[in-house]
Chain A
Amino acid sequence: MSKTLAIEAAGLAKAYGSTRALDGLDLQVEAGAILGMLGPNGAGKTTTVRVLSTLLRPDRGTARVAGYDVITEAAQVRERIGLTGQYSALDESLTGRANLVMVGQLCRLPRKQARRRAAELLDRFDLAGAADRGVKTYSGGMRRRLDLAASLVARPAILFLDEPTTGLDLPSRLVTWDAVRALAASGTTVLLTTQHLDEADQLADRIAVVDRGRVIAEGTSAELKAKMGGERVALTVAPQSDLAAARDVLARRGDGPPHVDPGPRTVEAPVTGGARRMPDIVRDLDAAGVLLDDLAIRHPSLDDVFLTLTGGATDHEEAAA
């Protein structure tokens, strides 16, 4: 095998009482790749990150990070990872700079180097102006950026980001995305969890959809969308027209059985190469005397993938935010 795995987990299980946070989770991330873990609340994303970053011992299963076992070689793993959790892991009563210098020194940088590295990161995350203020006075976005900076102090080979942009405004989110991209470009392996489909779509090389403690689908964004089938033609039939007539046209012209929803009066069918085949469909509909309120070609979105796979278990508003 030519590719090195930075993260590999097999059969991870963790239960809290009768709740199974992880239920046989398998995961592989190639070195230098960005993996997006996508899943609804309670799917096991955070638990996975905590196991992989040595903070939590799984009940069963094994995991290797940077080639080291997370249980028996936790110290070696910690030397190679950075972690930005969901909640800010900063000392609120210290300044931003003091937080970063402290982390640098804990990572065995001499004081001078720790200070230099702190200044570098404060610049990079647009925090230089607030560097000598207490973290207490920081906005949510500034805190998250400082937190991310803290996890980068030791230049980790592997970075875990647990919902790095949840609750961030757009500018802060863009800064975070840029940082993640730059890290990946320089060879850092990134595992990020997210509820934002567009975030996974934009950032991740591969996406693992997680639900109820397992990975239920894995692949590139395009691969996952392809699982949903190709384009679909969606018609909304006017009230005075016949639904059945519209269905017959799509049954004849489409590439699969049409789906009729009488409530909103829609008819949908898969049609590969939809745009080129539209004229035929429209002509036939016209000939059958079907009046339309709406006509569209739909491309499957990651939303469709997600909702189909997880059975719509997520709070849709949150997922689409």
Chain B
Amino acid sequence: MTAASLPITGRPGAEPALSRAWWALKNSLVLARRSIARIAREPEQLIDVTIQPVIFVLLFTYVFGSAIHLAGGASYHQFLISGMFGMTMAGTAPGTAVGLTTDMSSGLIDRFRSLPIARSAVLAGRTMSDLATQVLGIAVLSATGLAIGWRMQNGIGDALAAFGLSLLFAFSMTWAGACAGMLLRSPEAAQAMGFVLFLPLAFVSNAFVPTQGMPAWLRDFANWNPMSAIAAACRNLFGGSVPTDTTAWPMLHPELAVVLWSVGLIAVFAPTAVYLYRRKVLR
């Protein structure tokens, strides 16, 4: 050990921005790998992206779906799976919040904070690992869909585009969840937020039913809800969109709307989450 002589003349104080960004990314990846390694030891963490989507698909298809009749006699299976893509991707938000509140309430966070790592790495590591689990979510959802008769009608290229948009949307949602995780004090509170805030927001959209039947004020909200944009974009790309009479801009250009929404949400939520983290940990 060569620690005897002080002060140490090691790395200079101000590290070049590029090198700092590189190490922030590397640190985030190490922490993302940690979260994923945890999942391997506690697979029940994957319920959100495995069992839950299957149950939702079955419930909606065979319970509610039987009472839902789409315009022009379109297939509800085809309609629903695209909505479920939005639902499952958005479902990362409460998951991220729960994961982060758990981390923040454990002693481990003190270890991370005493290490020379980027302040954003703890958050970015979590959002990246949550994004990775969404790849599994997409696989489970696709398999469930295929089993009940859903098809990727427009070919593999469009399907891949839908997967890509879904992951982009999921990434924006995990940063929203990261913000919530920084504001809430316990995993229980994060779980509760999922039910009282996230679920209603997700339901007021075209994910499960067309918006035509909603009261006008609710319908406007639903048409501008990013959940509706991702669902509509997936319907365009997988096939199975139903004709709508709305002139809301996101419903006319859902793919572009998903990109804009996602980039915008990341631009707002990521810096806010990092700011909240810094404020939280210095008290």
Closest to A32 in B: B4
- List chain A residues, Cβ under 8 A from B282: 56-57
Beyond A56-B282, A107-B115, whether A80 also contacts B30 by CB under 8 A is no
User: A155 vs B106: C-alpha distance in the bound complex, in angstroms?
Assistant: 24
B13 beta carbon closer than 8 Å to chain A: yes
User: A102 vs B28: C-alpha distance in the bound complex, in angstroms?
Assistant: 11
User: A106 vs B3: C-alpha distance in the bound complex, in angstroms?
Assistant: 20
Residue in B41, B109, B115 whose Cβ sees the most chain A Cβ within 10 Å: B115
Beta-carbon contact of A102 and B34 below 8 Å? yes
Beta-carbon contact of B107 and A188 below 8 Å? no
User: A293 vs B37: C-alpha distance in the bound complex, in angstroms?
Assistant: 68
- A 79-92 binary contact with B (CB < 8 Å = 1; else 0): 11111010111111
- List chain A residues, Cβ under 8 A from B30: 102, 105-106
Within the complex, which residue of A6, A31, A88, A134 is in contact with B41, where a contact is CB–CB below 8 Å? A134
Within the complex, which residue of B1, B4, B107 is in contact with A87, where a contact is CB–CB below 8 Å? B107
Number of interface residues of A (CB under 8 A): 50
A187 beta carbon closer than 8 Å to chain B: yes
Closest to A79 in B: B116
Total contacts A-B at CB 8 Å? 114
Beyond A90-B108, A103-B115, whether A188 also contacts B3 by CB under 8 A is yes
- A 59-79 binary contact with B (CB < 8 Å = 1; else 0): 000000011100001011011
B7 beta carbon closer than 8 Å to chain A: yes
User: A75 vs B19: C-alpha distance in the bound complex, in angstroms?
Assistant: 14
Beta-carbon contact of A55 and B4 below 8 Å? no
Q: Looking at chain B, what size class is its interface with the partner chain?
A: 35 or more
User: A106 vs B30: C-alpha distance in the bound complex, in angstroms?
Assistant: 7
User: A157 vs B3: C-alpha distance in the bound complex, in angstroms?
Assistant: 5
Decide if the interface of chain A is mainly helix, strand, loop or mixed. loop
User: A31 vs B114: C-alpha distance in the bound complex, in angstroms?
Assistant: 20
Within the complex, which residue of B11, B37, B108, B281 is in contact with A55, where a contact is CB–CB below 8 Å? B281
Beta-carbon contact of A94 and B111 below 8 Å? no
Beta-carbon contact of A155 and B1 below 8 Å? yes
B112 beta carbon closer than 8 Å to chain A: yes
The smallest C-beta distance from B157 to any residue of chain A, in angstroms, reads: 37
Chain B residues numbered 1-45 whose CB sits less than 8 Å from any CB in chain A: 1-8, 10-11, 13, 23, 26-27, 30-31, 33-34, 37-38, 41-42
A113 beta carbon closer than 8 Å to chain B: no
Within the complex, which residue of A92, A107, A187 is in contact with B3, where a contact is CB–CB below 8 Å? A187
User: A186 vs B5: C-alpha distance in the bound complex, in angstroms?
Assistant: 11
Beta-carbon contact of A67 and B117 below 8 Å? no
User: A173 vs B115: C-alpha distance in the bound complex, in angstroms?
Assistant: 25
Beyond A56-B282, A87-B107, A94-B38, whether A31 also contacts B116 by CB under 8 A is no
- List chain B residues, Cβ under 8 A from A183: 1
Beta-carbon contact of B7 and A89 below 8 Å? no
User: A249 vs B114: C-alpha distance in the bound complex, in angstroms?
Assistant: 61
A234 beta carbon closer than 8 Å to chain B: no
- List chain A residues, Cβ under 8 A from B114: 53-55, 78, 81-83, 151
> Which 5 pairs across A and B sit closest by C-beta, in order of nearness?
A187-B4, A67-B7, A89-B111, A157-B3, A87-B107
